[in-house]
Each structure stands twice: as C-alpha cells, then as structure tokens.
A and B are shown apart, each in its own frame.
Chain A
Amino acid sequence: MKGILSSFVDGKGFDISLVALPLTFLLTLSGLPLIYNVLMSFQQVDLFSLGTFWRPFVGLKNYAELFAQPETWPIFANTAVFVVSSIAGQFLIGFGLALFFWTNFPGASWLRGLFLVSWVMPGLVVGAIWSWILSGDFGVLNFLLRESGLTDGNVFWRSDPNYSLWGVILANIWFGTSFNMILLSVGLSAIPTDLYEAAELDGANAWQRFRTITLPMMRSSIGAILALGLIFTLQQFDLFAAITNGGPNNSSNVAQYWAWELSFRQYDFAKGATVSVIMIVFVVLASIVYVRSTRHEVRR
C-alpha cells in the first residue's frame, strides 16, 4: 500500500493516473458510442427494442434499404456540393484576406482578429441572422441584389428548392472564412522574409513570388487547413436547423442533418446510425490527412 502511495506521489503512478482517467472517460463516452453506432447500423432498431441491447441482427438490410430510398443519392450529392463550395469559398476568401492583412499597416493584426467574432458566435445565432438576411420579401440581401441590378426579382433563398442549399452555403462561408483566414495568416507569418528580398533582387514580380515562394512554403499549412475545413464543414448542423431545416423537400438536406432527422424526427434509429457510420468513415479519412499534415509537429 505504501509502495503504491509513494509511486503516486513521486513516480510514474501520478502521471499514469493523470492520463488514464480522462482516456477512460473519452473511451466510454466517445469510443463506446462509436462502436455502438456501427452495431446499431446492423440491427433492427425500433421504439420497442430501443431499451434492450439484444436486438435482432439484420445484416446489411439497413444499408440496402437506405440506398433504395429515392432521396438518398440527392442528399449525398447535396453534401458533396455543400462541402466543396463551402471549403472553396471559405478558403479562397480567407486566403485573399490573409494576404491583404499580411502587409504591414497600423492596426492590421487587431482588425484581423476582429473577423473571428463570426467563429465564436453560437451557430444558432449565426443561423438566425442569416435567416433574416436571406428572407425572401424583406431580406437585405435581396435588396442589395436588386439595387445592384444582379437580379430582377426576389430570390427565395429559404423556400426555393433551387436556392435553399446555396443560402446555407452562403451563411457557412461567412461563418468559416475568418477561421481559415486566421490560420492562413499564421502560416504566412512563418515564411522568412529574406526569401522575398532575394527574389525581388532577382527581379521576380509579385505573381512569381506568390507562386514560387508563398504557395510552396504554405503547402503543409494549406493541407492542414483544407482538412480542418472538411472536418468543420461536415460538423455543420446548426445553420441547417436555423435556416432551412433541410427543406423544402430535402433540397437543402445534407447527410449530417439527415442522420439526425432520421433518428429524432422519424424515430428510425437504425437508419440514423447507418448514415452516421457512412459519414464517420469520411470524417476519419479527412482527419488522417489532417494528422499527417501536422505530424511533424506532433512528433516533435
């Protein structure tokens, strides 16, 4: 007993207990649900069998039924459009802003930091604000589009199936741009300035310096940021709940919202778990890319 105690106070026992407790907590509350999720996707789960662990196994029936549903492929296509457009918008605008704020002028870093308020706001608040901005008849976005002559009439961002997904994408780009910008700024400031001085002496113009110095030096940062963008975009749920609820008629539904809808609106927990499992595979692939591009730091 005394040996255990002194090992706790003075040896590795203290360190091991410091790390074992949280890891146990995480494995119980994240690891177990993950396994349980996979298990449920192979089971028949209804409101009667919800309370028991021993539910009838149905093999791949949930997966087969899922892909027989007419809305499945359009929703996965929406997910792809949402992910690609959101990341492209966030990254390109974020990169542009980061490059602009990289030039030194008074107040640059403080103003740049101010952008991040979009990212610390609750998702539901962002969704509420954009719901109002995107509103069909009285939204300020439609007013600006009409006044500038880009559109003739009002675009019904939230209720027109052709535009509903794009309304959410717009809000999500606004939400995530600042985070991309801040991380890209960190990457930019790590590039040694003498590289640019040398290139300027050699007569390279701005575009050549960007292409031959900035982009190659930023490669691992860009990889990590794009992977993080994918991870965050696949986590986006609040904006859908606040702006369109996935509607009308699933036109703005994406897999991560649909999985919740199947479980908590239609009480089809097996289907919800099935969609979750499919999406988690994608998320894990993305995070492997992320870990790989930051690994040199992890292993430092």
Chain B
Amino acid sequence: MRHTFREKLMLAVALVFTAIYLFPLYWMFVTALKSGSAIFASPPALWPADPQWQIYAEVWQNRNMGRYIWNSLVIAFGAVAVISVLGTGCAYVLARYRNGWVDVGLFLILMLQVLPASLMITPIFVGFSQIGLLQYPRLAVILAIAAKSMPFFVVLVRTAFMSVPQELEEAGLVDGDSRVGAFFRIALPLARNGIVVSAILIFMQAFGEFVYSRSLIQRAELQPASIGLNSFMGPNTNEWNGIMAYATIYVTPILVAFVLLQRSIISGLTSGALK
C-alpha cells in the first residue's frame, strides 16, 4: 500500500512541475481570450471573466493570416519535399556501408548541421542575389532551409535504416530483385516510420522558420506567418490579446500534431541526437 501512496505523491508533484513549466503556453491561450482592458488588469486574472471567442476570426481577418499561413505551408512542404527526396537515399547509403568514406561523409554532414542560420544568411543572401535566385524568394528560402536541415534529417533517417536487417535485402537480391528494387520494395517500406517522423520534425521546424524568410523575402504577400507575427509585435504594442490569438492560431496545429505523435517523435529525436 505504501508503494502506491508514494507513486501517487510522485505523480502529484510531477503534475505540479508540468503545470509550472507549461504555464507560458497556458498564459498565451488565456490572454488571447481576454478583452483589451482585461489584459492590463492588476492583479491579472488567471481565467478570462468574459472570453472573447470572436478574436480569432478578427485577427485572422485583420492580420491577413490566411495568406501568411499559406506561405508557411508552401515553404514547409517545399523544404520537406526537397529534404526527403535527397536525404533518404543519402541516409540509406550511409547506413549500409562502413568505411573511411562513410566516416568522412558523416563528419561533413554533422559539421554542416551546426552552422547557425543567422551566420550563414549573409553569404547566402549575397550569393543568391548574384545568381538571381532572389526573384523567386520562397524557392530561395526552401533551398536555404533544405541545406540547413537536411543533415539533421539524414542523421535521424540513418538510424532508422540501421534498424532494418541487411539480410532482408540480401534475400530480396537472391530472389532476383534488382538493387534498386530491393531499396524501394524492402528497405524503404521497413524504414517508413522513421522517415515519416523525421519529415514531420523537419516540417515543424520549417513551418516556424524565421531568419531566412526575414532576410530573403521582401514582398509582404510572400512572407510566412513567423514574419507576420513579428510585424504584429511593434515596439510599443499593447494589442497583446490579438498577438496571443495570432500565436494560438499559428501554434495549435503544431501542438496537436506533437501531442498525438509524441512517443514516436521523441524516440526518433533521441535516437538521432545521441546514438
């Protein structure tokens, strides 16, 4: 009996820790629903007395969020497409061979993974403007994100391929399948879960990307939601309920996807970062 009491106590403490840690998120949801004067009340109310549900529609309309979210989706889907088409094969080969060249390739990929976007944007901007790529700003951002995030994807997907037994492919070859066929019909389907989870992680990153979009996209009608949020937050803003409503609309799909896929996302993430 004592044991279950201890477990219950631990669970209660854990819930308190989680509540404290997630308070900023709660504060976003609550502030969004408060009226323009209630957000400045002192002491601040922990619960909106008079929830303003219409604020979501207002902010969506006034801040042109449909356009911003659409651009974020275009950029995120584009980046995921480029990365998964190019990165999956690369991860597969790096998982199948063990030699000096593979070590060199892995080292190179790990090195390219760590270069901060805000430091790489200067040469990327100048280079892209010189070759005329800035005329297609969203494509430019997609390519920049793809180059930045592909190494991460390769590292994660490589571990997924490493868990596929090589014997299965060899059996396929013995049965008369070609090398290409063995890759597409055996290795790829078996590593599918790992690939999908990694692609979702990349999608979440690209959906919230800021530095490249801020620097490469000048025209407002092509900018993603992160820039829309940034321009909403002027230096002396007091529309915090509107800003939090914007943030809520922007982040809720990501949060829902994360909570639903939590287990597989975390196991994918941790296997790549430490193993």
Q: B-contacting residues of A (Cβ < 8 Å)?
A: 8-11, 14-16, 18-19, 21-23, 25-26, 29-34, 36-37, 40, 45, 50-53, 97, 100-101, 103-108, 110-111, 113-118, 120-126, 128-133, 135, 137-138, 140, 143, 147, 174, 177-178, 182-183, 186-187, 221, 224-225, 228, 231, 234-235, 237-238, 241-242, 245, 256-257, 259-260, 263-264, 269, 272-273, 275-276, 279-280, 283-284, 286-287, 290-291, 294, 297-299
Report B116-174 residues with CB < 8 Å from chain A CB. Answer: 116-127, 129-130, 143-144, 146-148, 150-151, 154
Nearest residue (CB) in A for B275 is A297
In the bound complex, CA of A296 to CA of B214 (Å): 39
Q: From known contacts A26-B150, A29-B147, A124-B229, infer whether A36 and B114 are also in contact, taking CB-CB under 8 Å.
A: no
Q: B240 on the interface (CB 8 Å rule)?
A: yes
Chain B at the A interface: SS class: helix
Q: A-contacting residues of B (Cβ < 8 Å)?
A: 6-8, 10-11, 13-15, 17-18, 21-22, 24-25, 27-28, 31, 39-40, 42-44, 86-87, 89-90, 92-94, 96-97, 103, 105-127, 129-130, 143-144, 146-148, 150-151, 154, 178-180, 183, 201, 204, 207-211, 214-215, 225-226, 229-230, 233, 235, 240, 243-244, 246-247, 250-251, 254-255, 258-259, 262-263, 265-266, 269-270, 273-275
Interface centre among B40, B87, B106, B208 (most CB of A within 10 A): B208
Q: Are A120 and B258 in contact (CB under 8 A)?
A: yes
Chain B residues within an 8 Å CB radius of A297: 274-275
Nearest residue (CB) in B for A238 is B210
Q: Which 9 A-B residue pairs are closest in the complex by CB-CB distance?
A: A122-B208, A18-B89, A29-B147, A33-B123, A105-B10, A276-B119, A22-B90, A22-B86, A37-B123
Q: How far is the CB of A236 from chain B (nearest CB, A)?
A: 8
Q: From known contacts A113-B262, A235-B117, A287-B111, infer whether A25 and B86 are also in contact, taking CB-CB under 8 Å.
A: yes
Nearest residue (CB) in B for A122 is B208
Q: Are B258 and A111 in contact (CB under 8 A)?
A: no
Nearest residue (CB) in A for B271 is A186
Name A143's contact: one of B22, B44, B130, B258 (CB within 8 Å): B44
Q: Are A287 and B110 in contact (CB under 8 A)?
A: yes
Nearest residue (CB) in B for A31 is B112
Name B116's contact: one of A15, A129, A130, A234 (CB within 8 Å): A234
Q: Are A117 and B22 in contact (CB under 8 A)?
A: yes
Q: How far is the CB of B66 from chain A (nearest CB, A)?
A: 18
Chain B residues within an 8 Å CB radius of A283: 114-116, 119
Nearest residue (CB) in A for B241 is A132
In the bound complex, CA of A276 to CA of B125 (Å): 13
Q: Are B89 and A183 in contact (CB under 8 A)?
A: no
Chain B residues within an 8 Å CB radius of A138: 39-40, 42, 44, 240
Chain B residues within an 8 Å CB radius of A280: 115-116, 119
Q: Are A10 and B178 in contact (CB under 8 A)?
A: yes
In the bound complex, CA of A105 to CA of B15 (Å): 12
Chain A residues within an 8 Å CB radius of B21: 115, 118, 174, 177-178
Q: Are A121 and B251 in contact (CB under 8 A)?
A: yes
Q: Are A37 and B147 in contact (CB under 8 A)?
A: no
Q: How far is the CB of B30 from chain A (nearest CB, A)?
A: 10
Q: From known contacts A106-B7, A264-B215, infer whether A29 and B146 are also in contact, taking CB-CB under 8 Å.
A: yes
